[in-house]
Amino acid sequence: MTQSPRRRWPAEWEPHRATWLSWPRNRETWPTRLREAEDAFCEMVRAILPGEDVEINVGDPGLAEHVRTRLLGAGINDLSRVHLRGIPTNDAWVRDHGGIFVFEQTEDGPRRVLLDFLYDAWGGKYPPWDRDERVAEQMAQIARVPRVAFDLVLEAGGIDGDGAGTILTTESCLLNPNRDRPGHDRSRAGLERVLGEAFGAEKVLWLGDGIEGDDTDGHVDDLTRFVAEGRVVTIVERDPADSNYRVLKENRDRLEAMTDARGRRLEVVELPTPGIVAGPDGRLPASYANFYFANAAVLLPVFGVDADREAIAILEKAIPDRPIVPIPGRNLVLGLGAVHCLTQQEPSLPA
Catalytic residues: 341
What's the CA gap between 153 and 119, in Å, rounded?
6
What's the CA gap between 155 and 282, in Å, rounded?
24
CA 226 centroid distance within chain: 12
**What is the phi/psi pair of residue 5, to 5°?**
-60, 150
What's the CA gap between 73 and 67, in Å, rounded?
10
CA angle 197, 200, 202 (to 5 degrees): 105
What's the CA gap between 345 and 9, in Å, rounded?
11
What's the CA gap between 331 and 122, in Å, rounded?
21
Q: What count of other Cβ atoms lies within 10 Å of the Cβ of residue 317?
A: 8
SS3 label, residue 170 = strand
Residues 6+ apart with CB under 8 A from 343: 19, 20, 21, 44, 94, 95, 292, 299
Q: How far is CA 213 from CA 22, 198, 234, 285, 309, in A?
A: 23, 30, 18, 5, 23
**Beta 267-272 vs 278-279: how paired, if at all?**
unpaired
